[in-house]
Amino acid sequence: MADDQQSTNDDATTSPDEPTSDSRTSHSRDTAPRRIKDDAKRAGRRAGEQLGRFDYRRPRYPHNDYPHDIHPALVPGISIDEQRRRYSLGKTVFVIAGALTVAFVIWGIVNTESVSVVSGAAYDWATRNLGWLFNLVAIVVLVALLGIALSPYGRIVLGKDGEKPEFSTFSWVAMLFAAGIGIGVLFFGPSEPLTYFVTPPPLTNEAESTQALHHAMAQTYLHWGFHAWAMYALVGGAVAYAAYRRGRALLMSSIFRTLFGDRHTDGFAGKLVDIFAIIATLFGTAAALGIAAMQIGTGVSLVADTGPLSNNMTVIVILVLTVGFVISAVSGVSRGIRYLSSINIVLTVGIVAIVLFVGPTLFLLNLLPSGLMEYLGSMFDMLGRSLSWGEETVAFQSAWTIYYWAWWISWSPFVGIFIARISRGRTIRQFLLGTIFIPSTLLLVAYGIMGGTSIWLYMNGAEGFSNDMAPPQVFFTMLDSLPNLGWLSVVSIGVLAIFFITSADSASVVMGMLTSRGDQEPRRWIVVFWGLVMSGIAVVMLLLGDATALEGLQQLVIVTAVPFAIIMLMAIVAWLRDLRTDPHTLRHTYAQTVMSNAVVDGVDRYGDDFALQVIKTEPGQGAGASVDSEDEDYTGWYQRTDEDGNPVGYDYETGEWEDGWTPADPNGDSSDTDDSDDTAAEVPTTGADPEPAEDAGR
């Protein structure tokens, strides 16, 4: 009775507008998902804030079984400027590489005919038997890097956790573009597409047809596009990762530490990699210098009307420009050279823009997208050409495609180390996709404009154009055929001269680094030595051919690039092994394991109503059950050492060394008494990067 009365009173006191218990229940069911979602968002924000505040240097759990009491998954990375390192001349690398190349220069000058016979035989053997290897490298490198970029490895920073890029995106892109702008735009840009139009690759199209026009652009884009920049990106990404994430020196051999082991990397195997890198760089850059000298000599002979260019005139041009390089290297005016290089880039872009607007603009605007689509559509067909297509195809591939793959392989240590120095703090995904696609796309536009203009002038019977023009003549003939652009010939000669000097300067610095244990400011006499050797090789290369042919340049580039082609494939394996044991990868592995196990267990036990929390498990039952985190592959790389390689204690929380060493007071050891490979005697350096904005143009 009392219950009934209470029920009546309750009913009586309920407002007509107030929801009943049933309606309240229904309303609460309607709003519950929204409330849970809002709570989840707030929890997510709180988790994100906590993660942002998490400091990997301060482990919450004792990790006494690991170097410096820090678990490998919590290491934030090690930068090159945090390592204790003395730089000195590596005698083994310097003596072997120097002796081999100097002996070659002497041999080439004293007995050019003998060098020609030997290099020709080696060239014929390499192109016939190893053409597949160069094609394989070009394909595998591009595919592998795209795979790395799109995988979880792409999120790893080329630096320490949380490190921001050293340069803005605009500055970075500008410097990447600078690394690709060079003599190629002015030399091969107008001449190469015209060559393919007049003399199409075997088994393709009829000469001077519409199909030949578009295929000519596609063939040029193949040689200067994504595959070339993938080779640069491989070396640049692997070196940047080794230096700015693992604290190693800026050396090619640093890439292989995980693959070779410390003993062999510091021993002859590592030195052999650096020697091959030097030799490849020497011949690849010497080819560019020889081409620049041919182009400059041709321009001077046409402007001054001195008659056909001879080998002797080209050699004189090389000697004059080499004097300019030596003066810049010895006098320390490299900063001024860098400014001139920046002006050079602007001038080159300006020349391309002028040709676009003064030349056949409408024709070019239609040709550019058509040529690009033809490139993308016929890429696999062009990559598939080999010995099985017949002797004519082999001859074409040797003269063009294989030569270009070899050239880019030769240039990869030089350009790769350059772009590594400007890419610190970027993720691997940003670096790889940006390096492969941004500068190559810009270059495709430049080559489309220059090549399309020369083809248009040829089709319209412009004065001076013929089907047997020498490549160095095409550019200057093109300028003479466009209205009121004769003055650009003089400007272009200056641009080419500065490219010669800056390329020789910066390439010599890279080779100086490779012979000085990664010293980013090698001694001037070392830089000058490599510059002189490079110029000597350029002279020998030209003596093997003639002033209008590229035979000598092509032969030696292909032959000397063979060992480094194998090193490129090994570099992919070595970099992947490094990435597999990276702290970010280890954390990702733990996250995948724990989330997969927790979700399955949670749904099985509680259906939809479960949450996750971190608790301690029995050994071998947790997130790292499948990982041996004490393995040397995970822990060996972050053990800090002193200048002699002896282990030293280091506190990741405070950044203090156990023996009290600091960059400002490197144990007071500043002697320089020994340059042997076993003892480094220069002052330990923090490895701070010098200003990297040098031209690395081809």
401-443 tens-digit pLDDT: 888 898 888 888 888 888 888 888 899 999 999 999 988 888 8
Cα 515 to Cα 88, 179, 218, 279: the distances in Å are 8, 22, 39, 12
Radius of gyration of the chain (CA): 31
Which are the contacts of 622, defined by CB distance < 8 A and separation ≥ 6?
594, 616
Q: 112: buried, middle or exposed (CB in 10 Å: 19+, 13-18, 0-12)?
A: middle
Closest C-alpha to 360, from 278, 274, 482, 249:
482
Residue 212: its pLDDT value, please? 92
- Provide the residue ranges of all domains of the chain, joining segments of one domain with +: 86-582, 599-656
Q: 524: buried, middle or exposed (CB in 10 Å: 19+, 13-18, 0-12)?
A: middle
DSSP, residue by residue, 135-187: HHHHHHHHHHHHHHHHSGGGGSBSSSTTPPPSS-HHHHHHHHHHHH-SHHHHH
- Name the fold adopted by 86-582: Amino acid/polyamine transporter I (1.20.1740)
Return the residue matching tokens 């890279």: 510
Residue 310: its pLDDT value, please? 67
Torsion of CA 291, 293, 294, 296, to 10 degrees: 120
Q: Which phi and psi (to 5°) does residue 662 adopt?
A: -135, 155
Cα 464 to Cα 473: distance, rounded to the nearest angstrom: 9
* Cβ(542)–Cβ(297) below 8 Å: no
Residue 436: its pLDDT value, please? 92
Region class of 464: left (phi > 0), else alpha (psi between -120 and 50), else beta = left
* Cβ(345)–Cβ(430) below 8 Å: no
Which are the contacts of 286, defined by CB distance < 8 A and separation ≥ 6?
534, 535, 537, 538, 541
In one letter, which amino acid is 248? R
Q: 303: buried, middle or exposed (CB in 10 Å: 19+, 13-18, 0-12)?
A: middle
Cα 480 to Cα 109, 197, 464: the distances in Å are 36, 21, 9
Cα 646 to Cα 4, 86, 199, 243, 639: the distances in Å are 89, 14, 63, 20, 10
Cα 345 to Cα 341: distance, rounded to the nearest angstrom: 6
Under-70 pLDDT residues of the chain: 1-64, 179-182, 305-311, 331-338, 544-554, 663-698
Cα 76 to Cα 584: distance, rounded to the nearest angstrom: 9
- Token representation of residue 130: 């190893």
> pTM for this one?
0.81
